[in-house]
Each structure stands twice: as C-alpha cells, then as structure tokens.
Amino acid sequence: MSWIVFYKLLAIFIAVAIGWFVGRMRWLGGETAGGSGGDPARVLSNAAFYIFVPALLFRTTARVDFASLPWLTLSAFFVPVLLMIIGVYGVQRWRGAGTGEPALPSVQAITTSFGNTLQVGVPLAAGVFGESGLAVHITVVSLHALIILTVLTTLVELDLARAQVGTGLLQTLKQTVRNTVIHPVVLPVVAGLAWNAVGLPLPAVLDEVLQMLGTAVVPLCLVLIGMSLAYYGWPSRWRGAVSLALLKLFALPTLVLLLAHWGLGLSGQPLAVIVMMAALPVGSNALIFAQRYQTREAETTAAIVISTLLFALTAPLWLAVLSRVG
C-alpha cells in the first residue's frame, strides 16, 4: 500500500480526533455542557442529510453520462453489493432483530456494504492502479450512493410503515412510497435523473453552488464520526461492531471477487479496482443513515473506526490475492 494511502488514513484519524475533542469538550453544546440539552452530533448529521448529501447526489445524477458507462463492470460490483445488502437485511429480519428497532436491519446492511470510496478509495485507486484505474473507480462511485442509499431507504421506510400498529397493507404501501420518494436522499436523485433525461446542462451558478455544498460532505462526516464517539461512547456490545467491520472488509470483497471473476468473467484492472473498492472500510454515510433513523449510532461509529484501522492490514492482503488471481 502506497504512502499516499497511509497519509490519507492518518488524515482521516486526525479529523476524527478533532471531532472527538470538540465533542468531549462540549464546545458545541450538549446535555452535559451546562445548558443546551441538545445533541450537536445529530444536528450536524441532519445538516449533512438534508443539505450537503442531497446537493452531491443531485449534481452527480444530473451530470452522469449513462450511455458511456461500463455496464459489465458496474454489474460485477453492484450485483454482489445488493446481494450482501439483501443477505444481511434478510438475516436480521429473520432473527427478529427489527422487532424493537424497525430500522436495525437496514442500518446494519448499509454498514456492511457502504464503503469509504472518496477519502480512502480515490487515493488508493490512483496510487495503486494509476489514472486508468482511477477512471474505473470514479465511474463506480458515480452510482455508489445513488444505488445503495435508494435501495436501503426503500427497505427502511417499508419497515417503519409496517411497524405502525393498525396499518393495513394498502396504507403501508402508500406511506412507504410517499416517505421514500419525498426523502432527502431519493428526491434529489429522482430530480437529478429527470434533469439528466431532459439533456440540459446545469447552469454555471447552480453547478458551482452544488459543487460547493457537496464538498462539505467529507470533512463534515469525518468530524461527525469523532463527535459521535464523544457523545455516544463505545458500544457496550462491541462484538457487533467488529462483526460488521469484518463483513465489510472480508465478506463483501470475497463476494465481489467470486461473482465478478468466476460469474461474469471480469478480469484485469477492472476486476482489481472493484474488488479493492469492495474491500474499503465502512463509509461515513452509514453513520448519517443510522443517525437519521436513531438506530445503533454508537455501533455504526465503532464499525467505521475499527474497519478503517484494520484496512491498513487488510488492503495489502487483498492486493496480494488479486496478484495471484491475475
């Protein structure tokens, strides 16, 4: 693993540490800060979820050129990812994990499937695979949040509607559709796709505003991780966080490698790029999702930190596996 990736990992932990220190000192308020009684971590999460992430998603979907996308490579990545989501979600539903926490299956599913594709993924792809590998990585990133967040938003809203006592099937479906479409993640995606279909370019001023808001997602989320550690603490059931981290670091890339290479016949650099993308640590959007539905914030935060720490060890292992596969 190149030094540039190591420096990026170090920068991530420094940003998280800054957030933890700010949260520990209660500089932004909090229940023990002598007054406000609020939750600054949740306020920052809402700012990301309602302002910055929608701007990023709308700009991405409005500008993407669907005609030139490498659909085989995209299928080789997203089919295993969706299988992982459905598998984790289905197992948790089968175990009845969502009985008291309707959003739990979806929160754990996103933790095991949503990778840190920007802060860690971009320098990794550029440093290991060069410009051509980075182009493949960026192409997958353009649909990464769009697909994963849309699918999981639909699942979690369905579970929340179903959990309401006395709600009939038709009412459940109506409420699910309404809450899924009129949603800070799905709505900008739909609007961006509609704009893309019209074929008009984004006005320069609007594009500049969206780009400016979108660039705030990364630093805000890193600080948010540290603040969440300070406010929520380490989860009492830390083994759950470790299990989620290991599923993300080992199970998902294994599934991508098997289905992409031996299932769809993908090989060479595109295969290596998507396997390493699957092997990335848990992304900060998982925490925003958990805080949006107020479910297992501490566990998700711990999974992000643990997986990012372990990635320094697991990344060279996956690169060695890919060199053997060829």
Q: Cα separation of 142 and 166, whole Å? A: 40
Q: Cα separation of 293 and 158, whole Å? A: 13
Q: Name which of 155, 264, 295, 164 is nearest 256 in CA terms.
A: 264
Give residue 222's Cα distance to chain centre: 13
- What architecture is domain 3-25+41-325? Up-down Bundle (1.20)
Query: Which two tokens mark 140?
Result: 């997958």
Q: Name which of 131, 80, 63 is nearest 278 in CA terms.
A: 80
Amino acid letter for position 311: F
* 201 C-beta neighbours (distance < 10 Å), count: 10
- Which pLDDT belongs to residue 35? 39
- Cβ(133)–Cβ(269) below 8 Å: yes
Q: Encode the chain (326 residues) as per-residue pLDDT tens digits.
A: 567 777 877 888 898 899 999 988 888 876 543 334 467 888 888 888 889 988 988 998 898 888 888 999 999 999 999 999 999 999 999 987 667 789 999 999 999 999 999 878 887 888 888 888 888 998 898 889 889 998 999 999 889 888 876 566 566 666 666 666 677 777 888 898 899 999 889 999 999 999 999 888 888 888 888 888 888 777 777 889 999 999 999 999 999 999 999 999 999 999 999 999 999 999 988 999 998 898 999 999 999 999 998 998 899 999 999 999 87
Q: Name which of 130, 138, 1, 2 is nearest 65 in CA terms.
A: 138
- Which pLDDT belongs to residue 30? 67
Contacts of 215 (CB under 8 A, 6+ apart): none
Angle made by CA atoms 95, 97, 99, in degrees to the nearest 5? 115
The full DSSP string for 165-186 is: TT--HHHHHHHHHHHHHSSTTH
Q: Cα separation of 103 and 107, whole Å? A: 6
> CA separation (Å) from 218 to 18, 113, 215, 242, 295?
14, 18, 7, 24, 22
- Cβ(160)–Cβ(102) below 8 Å: yes
* 37 C-beta neighbours (distance < 10 Å), count: 10
Q: Cα separation of 114 and 56, whole Å? A: 16
What are the structural domain ranges in the chain?
3-25+41-325
Query: Which two tokens mark 165?
Result: 């006592």
- Which pLDDT belongs to residue 172? 64
Amino acid letter for position 167: T
pTM for the full model? Answer: 0.84
CA dihedral 234, 239, 245, 250 (to 10 degrees): 160
- Cβ(180)–Cβ(153) below 8 Å: yes
Query: Which two tokens mark 291?
Result: 């805080």
DSSP letter at 8 equals H
- Which pLDDT belongs to residue 177? 67
